[in-house]
Structures are given as C-alpha cells and as structure tokens.
Amino acid sequence: MTVLGSGHQVSMTRSINGRLNLRVGEVVEVRNEAEILSTLDGDGRLDGLPFMPEMLKFCGQRFRVYKSAHKTCDTIQKTGLRRMNHAVHLDGLRCDGGLHGGCQAACLLFWKEAWLKRVSDCPSHDQSSGPHGELGCGRDRLFAAVRTGADKSNPDEEVFSCQATELRRATAPLPWWDMRQYLQDLLSGNVSLLHFLWVAAMALFNMVQQKRGGRGYPYFEGKLPANKTPSMTLGINPGDLVEVKSKAEIEQTLGVNSRNRGLWFDVEMLPYCNRRFRVLQRVERLIDEKSGKMIRLSNDCLILDGVTCSSDYSYKRRFCPRSIYPYWREIWLKKAD
C-alpha cells in the first residue's frame, strides 16, 4: 500500500500470506516479477527488507533452500544476533553488486518466503497461488531505491541502500540466550543434532574457562604493537591456489588488537588454517553497511572460494546462517604448488 502526503511518498508494507515454513534442502521457485513487485511497499521493501534489482534475474528459476534466515548477525552495530521473519537464503545466490556501484562483498541474498513458491509433486503442498493485483512498487522505483542520494558533506559521493544497509530495519533484537532460536536452528535443518551438540559442548567449556580465568577454545593472540603490523605482496590473482598459513604464523602478523593494518583476523577464520583454497576474487570496493557509502580499499584484501564464516565460535552470533566471506591479507596466505 502506498500513501501520498505532502508531496512525498510514504511507504507501508503490504500484508500478505507468504509463510511457507521452508526447510533446508527444499526446492523453491522464485515468483515472477509482477508477483514480487505486488508484495513490496513504495520503497521496494517487504517488512523493511529491500528486494534488490540484482535479484530480478532469478525470477522463474528454481533453487534449493540453503539456510533458514530466521536470524542473522548485526554487522552494522555489532550487537549480536537479530531476528528476521519468514525468510531464507537460497543455495549459491549472492549479490554481484552490479547495480550497487560494483560492491564486491558478495553478500548472501535474503529471500522473503512471499517471493517464493514451493515446488512439490504433492498438490496439497502447491503454493502457486501467490500475491497478485496492483503493483505495490513499480520497476522504476525499485531501481531508484538503490541510491538514496548524496552525502551532505560530499555531494559527489553517492549513498547506497541494500539488504545489508537496511538489515536493522528488517529485523528485531534476538538475545543469544533465547533458547527458541536454537530449536529453530534444528527444526529448520540449519544445524544437525551432532553439530549442535559439539558446539554446545564447546560453548560450555568456554564458559567454565572464562569463570576460571583460563583460555577459551579456539584461542589466538596477536604478538605485535597495533601500529606496527607487516605486509607482504605475493601477486595472488583470482583462481590461484593458496594455502592458509598456520595459526602460529598468522599470530606473528597481528597486533594485540588481532588486526593487520586495520583488517581484523576473526576467530571464525582459524579452522581454515593449513588448508588449501582457490582465490575467488580481490576485493577493492565495498559498501559500508553503516553509512551506505562506497569504501575503496587501499591494502590487499582477498576472499577465498568456499571459505565462509560458520559462526560456531562466537557466542553472540552462534549459528548465524549468513555465511559471510572473511577477508584475507596476502601475508596470511602462501602460494600452493
């Protein structure tokens, strides 16, 4: 529904029945463009979540559900987990940034269940009857919503809007101690029972260690002053095979703040040490999720194919399904034969 007032367009989210209660592994079909546009408000959003123009090319195609997106980590204010309703991630569908200034973050896309329909041989489960009728958001408005204007302090600098920048508006706070989220992790198929028990045992061990003043698992620490971390240029290119250095080697490149020239080495990156991967791409520009401005990176930054954050080791974002690509310095890698 769109309400006009004082010469401006005020957006109100349509209320629709788009609850499929999808589980990991189910096959879904992305609805056609007209159906999806009819679910959106005047700013191209449903429940605060933008449907981005980069997603239009997937209309009419079928994909498997990768994870239920009933929760996600807050990468804007770093508060922990946030709750999202009736959304999933689809296998392999990441934003290419083509209409967002060439952003190279390659974020996993969020899909509201209202934008999908279940593919099933059983007629009783057929969800082909979706939202129809007058468009809630026109195609032109959908594309225009990508750019919110210019930075007031720098008129030449564009400000972008995407699912990552609007994440807090599309979610609600979710305390890590709310046990219902972990039940949903299991019931949706996001996490297997065996994996859940392993992570729970590790979390219990770390709680005991914290009370005793001991080290948690896994543990690492930077060895250098924060302002004196080294660099290395290996001439690594996309497609090259590289090996992640050992934990001990990487510790020698980090400051006491666990950073190398400003880039944080996260605990979720430790399981990839001593393993080999292909370089997916070099990252040179990203949208800052807090401001919407494009950041140009001056130092080396890489993402590796198949290397994503598991959220197993961070208690404030345990089992986040977002599968964000961690960023790697060349000095943390070595070329493999």
pLDDT at 124 over 70: no
What pLDDT is attached to residue 128? 47
CA distances from 134 to 1, 18, 190 (A): 9, 17, 36
Amino acid at 27: V
- CA-CA distance, 174 to 74, in Å (whole number)? 10
- Domain extents in the chain: 2-173, 193-335
Residues with Cβ within 8 Å of 181's Cβ and at least 6 positions away in sequence, in order, are 70, 71, 81, 83, 174, 319
The pTM for the full model equals 0.88
- The model's pLDDT over 215-256, given as tens digits with 9 standing for 90+, comes to 999 999 998 998 899 999 999 999 999 999 999 999 999 999
Are the C-beta atoms of 50 and 146 separated by less than 8 Å?
Answer: no
- The model's pLDDT over 250-297, given as tens digits with 9 standing for 90+, comes to 999 999 999 999 999 999 999 999 999 999 999 999 999 999 999 999
Are the C-beta atoms of 216 and 210 separated by less than 8 Å?
Answer: yes
Of the candidates 282, 236, 230, the one whose C-alpha atom is nearest the C-alpha of residue 255 is 230
Interval 53-75 mean pLDDT: 97
- CA-CA distance, 255 to 231, in Å (whole number)? 12
- Paired sense of beta strands 276-282 and 302-304, if any: antiparallel
Name the token pair of 272: 């990839």
Amino acid at 6: S
For the chain, state the CA radius of gyration. 21
CA distances from 197 to 191, 192, 193 (A): 10, 9, 6
What pLDDT is attached to residue 12? 36
Interval 313-334 mean pLDDT: 95
Percent of the chain with pLDDT over 70: 89
Give one word for 237, left, alpha or beta, with left for phi > 0 and alpha for psi -120 to 50: beta
Three-class DSSP category at 132? coil
Are the C-beta atoms of 306 and 277 separated by less than 8 Å?
Answer: yes
Confidence of residue 324 (pLDDT cuts 50, 70, 90): very high
- Quote the distance between the C-alpha of residue 156 and its chain's center: 28
pLDDT at 16 over 60: no
Name the residue with tokens 């080495």.
265
- CA-CA distance, 143 to 140, in Å (whole number)? 5
Interval 133-156 mean pLDDT: 78
Percent of the chain with pLDDT over 90: 81
User: Average model confidence (pLDDT) for the chain?
Assistant: 89
Interval 63-90 mean pLDDT: 97
What pLDDT is attached to residue 280? 97
pLDDT at 180 over 80: yes
pLDDT at 48 over 80: yes
Residues with Cβ within 8 Å of 192's Cβ and at least 6 positions away in sequence, in order, are none
- CA-CA distance, 12 to 140, in Å (whole number)? 18
Of the candidates 170, 27, 169, the one whose C-alpha atom is nearest the C-alpha of residue 110 is 170
pLDDT at 7 over 50: no
Confidence of residue 316 (pLDDT cuts 50, 70, 90): confident
What pLDDT is attached to residue 135? 59
**Length of the chain counted residue by residue:** 337
Interval 98-107 mean pLDDT: 96
Confidence of residue 151 (pLDDT cuts 50, 70, 90): low
* Neighbouring-strand partners of residue 49: 46
DSSP letters for 185-235: HHHTTSS-HHHHHHHHHHHHHHHHHHHHT---SS-----B-TT--------
